[in-house]
Chains A and B, each alone.
Chain A
Amino acid sequence: MTAGAVPRRRRSRWGESLIELFLRLNGFIAIAIITLIFVFLFKEGIQALRTIPVAHFLSTTELDFDSVPQTVRMWQPVGTNPKYSILPLIAGSLLVAIPATLIATFFGVACGIYLAEVAGKRTREIIKPAIELLAGVPSVVIGFFCLATLATFLQDLLHTSFRLNAIVGAVGVCFVIVPVIASMTDDALRAVPDELREGAHALGANRWETIARVVVPAGASGLIASILLGLGRALGETMIVLMATGNAAQVTWNPFESVRTMTATIAAELGAVPQGGEQYRALFLVGTILFTITFAINLAAEVAVSRMRRRLAL
């Protein structure tokens, strides 16, 4: 009996180390995939610089109707004289993502504070899943809603000259990132130890003062992380902006103008360009830039979260 038990135990040890190896491999796969994606994007994108001068990614000089040279910042890759300025695309992405993040921060953080600090257990059990359901609505559905209904409503309200514009896109993107910000704010505030709240109450602070002066400052890094992650999602959102912004590649700071984001440009053009051509590579370069920006933002969010963990562990 004992003689039989030994090999069985040995076998199970073998199995354990195999499972451990499998789990470790899965952990590292995430890193490997991110690295591979970046290498792939970069390898394709960098080739664009072989045929297109770097300066042309900012601006080109063009003769106007009266043959006067003009500096143009234009994304117009098809034609006798293709133009690849990425400035309108970056301006477009920012003009959607920044207003979206501002609006979503207002509602998301408020919602998160309510969930973590104010709402009773019953209310919380209803509201939290509802917010998670909102996060699960397919973005094409939100895009369609923006295109068909919201755009008309906003134009009637604000009398904008463009029916589809950056703000319509931004409001649409809000639907996606409010849940992200709300649930992360909720998590961050719930990580704040109760001792802090009890201490504040003991000093005579009322509920509002406790939230505003103690809990929120203690969870500030977590709030910042939630907002940064929201910004990252807003920059990467594709379907909603493709449907709701009108896709005019112009350099503008007016959020009521039609804009073209980096994501929408890639989505609209990549499927129809010959592989390995100049435009194909230029689109990969746009992808590389987009990936670098969102990667930096997500990294900053991670740093903020780990800083909060360290501070609260004290």
Chain B
Amino acid sequence: MQRRTTAAIAVAGLTAALAWPVLAANNITVKGSDTMVILGQRWAEEYMKKHAEVAIQVTGGGSGTGIAALINGTTILANSSRPIKPEEIEQAKKNRIDVVVFRTAMDGLGVVASADNPVDHLTMTQVGKIYTGYISNWKQVGGPDKRIIRYSRESNSGTYVFFKEHVLMNRDYAADVQTMPGTSAVAEAVSRDPSGIGYGGVAYFANNPKLKILKIAKDEKSGPISPLLPDGRINYEAVWSQTYPIARYLYVYSAGQPQGPVKAYLDWILGPEGQEIVEKIEYVPMPANKP
């Protein structure tokens, strides 16, 4: 009897000791966008190297999953590559959670063709019509009389979803769109295919002599804009001002006004060190940091 009591006390003590760091306020959970998983993990790794007392857990699952977790109170921070919807903010308010929005980085998507292709600019509508299958020949957009071979990403990619929502306007991709396992595979395929077209993070396509990054016009009236500067670097100005039309913010949402270690972490993300990591993994940093 006595032995059992001793054992119970020992187990309880051990559990408490093990649970202590988890229960402490220094534990930050981040959930959401798959596009931002690598960025989020790099932020967390670097931050934890300098602040050993903080434990940050980053998981993916998609922007929607992250926002749902935020509303249900099961995560402190949510990563998202799309803006939060007004009804989602309302839902959170019902659960007494005030969602605070942080824009932490930007991302420009490039549309590429083979360097041999004479076409060098398209409008947003044209890109949408190409990927939905309403335009199937380069001739229809001022190129040679050749079938357009469309390359895309697998459906689990955040880029696939963003492109579907913002360029295809939620229409379906054409059936003959080939799906590649990653943006570098898209780059590889288009570089080998004189009648190919592909899309993905601009950084994957820059400095490849076999690829041509197309200039994109918002509509028929505005002029086509390249996401790159003449020297091959990403044109931050065009992405910041969104004059380059296929650009998006990468958000972090907080449940309530962040305080203590969470606030310190978000300040660090928005500060020079966090933004340097954004640049390192080839997203676009926020304008305030690069005058």
B156–A72 contact, CB under 8 A?
no
A61 to B6, CA, bound (A): 69
Task: Give the residues in chain B near A88, CB-CB below 8 Å.
Answer: 175
Q: Is A251 an interface residue (CB 8 A)?
A: yes
- List chain B residues, Cβ under 8 A from A78: 155-156, 160-161, 164
Q: How many cross-chain pairs have Cβ atoms below 8 Å apart between A and B?
A: 70
Chain B interface size, under 10 / 10 to 19 / 20 to 34 / 35 or more? 20 to 34
Residue of B nearest to A242 (CB): B181
* Interface 0/1 of A238-266, CB less than 8 Å to B: 00000000111111000001101000000
Q: Does A28 contact B (CB under 8 A)?
A: no
The residue that A269 contacts in the complex, of B154, B161, B177, with Cβ under 8 A, is B154
Is A79 in contact with B149, judged by CB distance below 8 angstroms? no
For B172, what are the chain A residues with a Cβ–Cβ distance below 8 Å? 62, 72, 74, 76, 79, 81, 83
Q: Which residues of A contact B171 (CB under 8 A)?
A: 65
Closest B residue to A165 by beta carbon equals B178
Given contacts A269-B155, A273-B156, contact A248 B195 (CB under 8 A): no
Query: What residues on A are CB-neighbors of B149 within 8 Å?
Result: 161-163
Query: How many angstroms between the C-alpha atoms of A152 and B132 in the bound complex?
Result: 27
B82 at the interface (CB under 8 A from A): no
Do A80 and B170 form a contact, CB below 8 Å, given A74-B175, A269-B154?
Answer: yes
Q: Is B189 touching A163 in the complex (CB atoms < 8 A)?
A: yes
Judged by a CB distance under 8 angstroms, whether B173 is at the interface is: yes
Which size class do A's interface residues fall under? 20 to 34
Which residues 139-193 of B have a CB within 8 angstroms of A?
147, 149, 154-156, 160-161, 164, 170-173, 175-181, 189, 192-193
Is B272 on the interface with A (CB-CB < 8 A)? no
Shortest Cβ distance from B252 into chain A, in angstroms? 22
Known: A77-B155, A269-B154, A272-B156. A250 touches B175 (CB 8 A): yes
> Roughly how many angstroms separate A152 CA and B170 CA in the complex, as a whole number?
34
A268 CB contact (under 8 Å) in B154, B175, B177: B154
Residue numbers in A under 8 Å from B181 (CB-CB): 268
Chain A, Cβ-Cβ closest to B179: A247
- Residue ID in chain A nearest B128 by CB atoms: A65
Q: Once the chains bind, are B179 and A251 in contact (CB under 8 Å)?
A: no
B134 contacts A by Cβ under 8 Å: yes
Known: A164-B178, A269-B155, A273-B156. A76 touches B192 (CB 8 A): no
CB distance from B290 to the nearest CB of A (A): 34
Encode A109-127 as 1/0 by CB contact (under 8 A) with B. 0000000000000000000
List residues of chain A with CB under 8 Å of any chain B CB. 62, 65, 72-74, 76-81, 83, 88, 152, 161-164, 246-251, 257-258, 260, 268-269, 271-274
**25 pairs, A vs B, C-beta closer than 8 Å:** A62-B172, A72-B172, A74-B175, A76-B155, A77-B155, A78-B155, A78-B164, A80-B170, A81-B170, A161-B147, A163-B149, A163-B193, A164-B178, A246-B178, A247-B178, A247-B180, A248-B176, A248-B179, A250-B176, A251-B175, A260-B179, A268-B179, A269-B154, A272-B156, A273-B156
Kindly list the 4 A-B residue pairs having the minimum CB-CB distance in the complex, ordered from nearest. A272-B156, A250-B175, A78-B155, A246-B178
